[in-house]
Structure 1
Amino acid sequence: MPHSPEDKKRAITRVRRIKGQAEALERAIDAGTDCAPLLQQIVALRGAANGLMTEVMESHLRETFGANINPNDDRAHDENVEAIMKILRTYFK
């Protein structure tokens, strides 16, 4: 769960974007849109959901593992979290 006001705002913005994309997809299906454009919309929706998941995961990792690494060394904490996030971002693409 994003805890800072900025993180919450970013997460809500992403959720609203995903909601809009899902509604557009529903309208396209209802209108009988061809498969290729539907697939493109689905991929965009999946990308948006993965982006949200990445942001929430990063927030969770920073909160969960940050205190256990070395509370006096913020740089080591950020580097460790960033290394994990790099792997996750590759997976979520």
Structure 2
Amino acid sequence: MPHSPEEKTRVLKRVRRIAGQCSALERALEEGADCAPVLQQIAAIRGAVNGLMSQVLEAHIREGFAQPGHTPDDAAVQELLTLVRTYLK
């Protein structure tokens, strides 16, 4: 999780934008919108969530692995590999 105030603000803004996109998708579905715009909105949400995941994962890597003089232990490496595998599914 991003810990600096700037990173936290950026992540929260991104989450709020995603929530707005989800609300717009919900409205479109309730109103019976055509499939093409609905699929386009779903793709946009997926891209936004992937961007959020990338941003948080990058912050996690920087916190745990980019510290000068810090050598990550096997458990930390395994945790990171598990996160990356989940992200890439």
Please state which band the TM-score falls in when normalised by the shorter chain. Answer: 0.7 to 0.9
What is the alpha-carbon root mean square deviation over aligned residues?
A: 1.7
Is the partner of 2:39 in helix, strand or coil?
Answer: helix
What is the match of residue 57 of structure 1?
57
What is the match of residue 26 of structure 2?
26
Cα distance in 1, alignment partners of residues 10 and 55 from structure 2: 9
* TM norm structure 2: 0.76
Is the partner of 2:66 in helix, strand or coil?
Answer: helix
Tell me the matched-pair count: 72
Which structure 1 residue ranges, 5 or more long, are not aligned? 73-87
Q: Which residue identity lines up with residue 30 of structure 1 in the other structure?
A: E
Q: Which residue identity lines up with residue 66 of structure 1 in the other structure?
A: A
* TM norm structure 1: 0.72
**Identity over the aligned pairs, expressed in percent?**
62
Deviating beyond 6 angstroms after TM superposition, the runs of 4 or more aligned structure 1 residues are none
More helix by share: 1
Cα distance in 1, alignment partners of residues 40 and 21 from structure 2: 11
